[in-house]
A and B are shown apart, each in its own frame.
Chain A
Amino acid sequence: MSIISCKNVYMNYDSTKAVENVSFDVEKGDFLCVIGENGTGKSTLLKGILGLQKLNSGTIVFSGIKQGEIGYLPQRTVVQKDFPASVWEVVLSGRQTKGFRLFYTPEDRKIARKNISLMGIDDIKNKPFNELSGGQQQRVLLARALCATQKVLLLDEPTTGLDPFVTAELYKLIASLNRDHGVTVIMVTHDIKNSLEYATKILSMEHDGDFFGTTEEYMKTPAAKLIFGGDADA
């Protein structure tokens, strides 16, 4: 039973075609990696899933979740570089989603505290967000996304600019959310080698047609063989 189902989606980026005839399904508990070169429409597709941009044609159907119930980990923005905000403020703002609320409830604070512990960032709770390392910032943003939903996480190149150790740790953290907490994960990434280790499904967006299938199936494609030097079990 798929919770997100994209069928024949077409989308534009700045009035040029970016996403062409993309179809895929996400089932509960999946770890889907969206890979592909720059300019193949990964980010545009992501905007479509989140409802930030209209589709030209095709459909994206949600069942069991609503569009606004996707926890989103965006790429970090320039604005955030000198933005005065404490970790606590950022995480708590993840609760500011469902309709209007004047103040945060004790329940909101409890959920925020729980997700801060889950991400192992209790000790930096009161620190300014913009003075943290890249890896710590991503953990904070993950905690915020988890405050918005426990069902689906959508991550936009979460490891960009992180060193290999921090990247590996972040992947483990995301994988454990997927495995131990039943969070469905959709991740856009350049980092094919690492992502294949954790992904259950792959959507590879290429200029000459897309691939969608399980990770095992992807390993048999010519593209995978090219990357992994013919050794499909890498």
Chain B
Amino acid sequence: MLDTFFQMFEYDFMLRAIIVGVLVALCSALLGVTLVLKRYSMIGDGLSHVGFGALCIALAMNLAPLTVSVPVVIIAAFLLLQISENSKIKGDAAIALISSTALALGVIITSTTTGINSDVNGYMFGSILAMSDADVVVSIVLSVAVLVLYVVFYNKIFAVTFDESFARATGTKTKMYNTLVSLLTSITIVIGMRIMGAMLISSLVIFPALTSMRVCRSFRKVTVTSAVVSIICFFVGLFVSFAYSLPAGASVVAVNAVVFLLFSIVGIIKRKTS
């Protein structure tokens, strides 16, 4: 068992996946707390489908995946925010519209060009081999930017998430912070979906926040616990996938689901005894 564990670090592709994965797990866990509390859980799902469409276009046109999908997903995030604020179509419905349209577009483009090959399959369900060295550099830079911005604006993000009207009334530019959160989310989703897959990346946003909320009762504790839980789950998931030759993304989601159940039980016991 221990041998297998250390073997994991001997492969370059595994190292790349671990570095990027841990960073993404951290970023998505932090952002997830805000998104889940603001009832925007599905935004990760919607954006990842848009990301899938963008990746298919990049593949068909032989362009670098990240340089195409990052701007496209950011634009989609802005659109979603705008639509859910200003129009009669509510947030969740808007996400469903945009995500299924993007998915359809991706499938159409793929079927007329490359067909559903292993690349496309990798976009859907993630691939541990997906990251090139250049991707790793871009991913590290972007994730570090997400982390720094989150820490710098932590208190503002709390204020805006907890009570947007109060924050706005007392002079906080809430729109700017909402935009910031969706910008950071877009970047995290695009980086993460390479490993986790478009279909599974949203779990990285939702699970850690919900898991920690089973047990923790303050915002700070929830945030820190989410981050820790997310990293541990990613690591364990990746190891399970390596040891038993299972798909990486699916394994990480499965581990997250198990930990969620464990925390739920702990939460119930805690409430009964207190």
Contacts and interface: CB of A to CB of B under 8 A. Distances in A.
B259 to A, nearest CB: 17
Interface stretch (B53-61, B76-84, B152-160, B237-245): B152-160
A174 B222 CA distance: 33
Interface centre among B159, B161, B167, B221 (most CB of A within 10 A): B159
A149 B171 CA distance: 12
Q: In the complex, which of the residues A51, A70, A74 has the most CB atoms of chain B within 10 Å of its own CB atom?
A: A74
A96 interface: yes
Contacts of B220: 89
Interface in A87-118: 89-90, 93-94, 96-98, 100-104
A68 B217 contact: no
Contact of A93 (B155, B221, B222): B155
Interface in B218-261: 218-222
Nearest to A101: B155
Contacts of B221: 84
B100 interface: no
Contact of B169 (A72, A79, A131): A72
B38 interface: yes
Interface residues of A, number: 37
B169 A50 contact: yes
Interface residues of B, number: 27
Interface in A30-69: 50-52, 67-69
Contacts of B142: none
A89 B158 contact: yes
B38 A79 contact: yes
B216 A96 contact: no
Nearest to A75: B165
A97 B37 contact: no
Contact of B219 (A71, A82, A89, A104): A89
A128 B169 contact: no
A68 B171 contact: yes
Contacts of A82: 213
Contact of B156 (A51, A86, A96): A96
A85 B218 contact: yes
A191 B217 CA distance: 34
B166 interface: yes
Given A82-B213, A83-B37, A84-B213, 19 more contacts: A50-B168, A51-B169, A52-B169, A67-B171, A69-B171, A71-B170, A74-B163, A74-B169, A79-B37, A79-B38, A84-B216, A84-B218, A85-B158, A86-B219, A89-B218, A93-B155, A101-B155, A128-B218, A131-B217
11 contacts: A51-B168, A52-B169, A69-B171, A79-B39, A83-B161, A85-B219, A89-B220, A93-B159, A96-B155, A97-B171, A145-B166
